[in-house]
Chains A and B, each alone.
Chain A
């Protein structure tokens, strides 16, 4: 190794610049996406105004853009319901796995639940379709929420385990030394200490559920002629609306898809910054 200092230095600079160049390349798509959606979707939103979130979708040949009210309401309701179902389950499982970590059930659950976040969400959609939708005879908000709940469960679990792990060992020991049972420690110590992490976890899983397309594809239905038909009736969601309208041949549907995408991104960014600002105050 007698390479001169100069060559090493040069190689260092080349590699650093290359790394930065590639990094910039990797994030350009985000800005390209934002630009595209703001330009195309902005036109639609400005054109339609507030009625975009209160009106029904247009028919293929209508001249007005209409709105995405059924999809917006469906998305909000389905994600809320999904997190209401999977949140508590994920929380209890996460508590179990972190508190009783020497039990073999915990070790198995940890790996299985985490692996489950890698399985294709379209299969969950097929599963819910064949078990729930076929039996009920119709696609429904309920089936969609169930499908979302299954997909969101591993995510919520991952966030909740890191919330539980964020609790300092000293507090854990202090709680135990006061003679608290684990359940009492959870109720009086852990929840208070990791409150913000738990809230962030809930919010992030909600965001995840809000943006999912595949789990809703066969389960949610595609409601267009009223805003809300009931929990056991078909509904609609923003991501599937974008997906289906983008693949359709009609100009007016494409416009609605752009508007809906912008709406989706705005909601996403608002929730995301909310989640981040929650975490910012965390000091332990």
Chain B
């Protein structure tokens, strides 16, 4: 380590405990969640991951829990959301950086920023009140009627609260975040490449396609970060996914995600012996999944930035 003057040393060592403390604190949250989840893991073992059941009972022997449905539901809804986010944010990046005049592009950017900071409960409310009935009547019903032979469209849409609605709202809410990352990355590409390709007579689209190709690892990293965001989102999902404990791959069915299960069951879980530990077990799985994904995403972003700078 390079060292500095004496007073710099003092500064370094006086802030160090705080930094270590914060790191330790974050670690504590993870360990604490694992510790709280332990009874449930011990009691139900692998059943926790392969069954889908929520049966609290006053007698602990009768209690049975399985988190397969919400766990798969979480992954499923976030994957769908990410698949919707990608085209939206790529199109926004293209429009803002290359197509639109500076002024209009700037305006669009402000709109995106506003959307990015909007409280998620507003998105949730909008999804539940406006989007769910609209999707049911104009999208789900026709899809079910004409394409019902495809398994993911095979179930009859009833309330509109469904995996599809939740993923769509999640996508709308997370797109600004991914777009901001993509624009940041796109602007980091050295301008000599852009000048080069334009000199060869490429059209705007061809130039963007080529430059965006350079961005590929960055796009993957941004999608991972968006995915991890969607995975942990509670409010939107709890208001739009229908909160039903049922394993489903059909996008018109209601189901649960881990956060929505926690939000809806946590208050009453304290009454039963294994309900709370099971919720903590779900939380722990989610925590592991999202922190690993975030970590990989951030590492990839940094690696790409380092490479492009040289």
A-to-B contact residues, CB < 8 Å: 8-9, 11-12, 15-16, 18-23, 25-27, 29-30, 32-33, 36-37, 89, 92-93, 95-97, 99-100, 102-106, 108-109, 111-124, 126-127, 129-131, 150, 153, 181-184, 204, 207-208, 210-214, 217-218, 239, 242-243, 246-247, 257, 261, 264-265, 268-269, 272, 276
Contact = CB atoms under 8 A, between A and B. Distances in A.
A27 B1 contact: no
A276 B110 contact: yes
B115 A247 contact: no
A89 B22 contact: yes
Nearest to B228: A118
B263 interface: yes
Contacts of B293: 118
Contacts of A269: 114
B237 to A, nearest CB: 10
Contact of B19 (A109, A126, A214, A239): A109
Contacts of A92: 15, 18-19
Contacts of B232: 118-123
Contacts, number: 243
Nearest to B294: A118
Given A22-B87, A32-B126, A247-B239, A122 B117 contact: no
B114 A15 contact: no
A264 B118 CA distance: 9
A32 B122 CA distance: 11
Contacts of B15: 92-93, 95-96
Nearest to B236: A213
A147 to B, nearest CB: 11
B19 A96 contact: yes
Nearest to B276: A130
A123 B263 contact: no
Given A96-B19, A126-B280, A183-B11, 11 more contacts: A12-B204, A20-B99, A120-B231, A122-B234, A130-B32, A153-B22, A183-B7, A204-B117, A211-B117, A217-B234, A257-B125
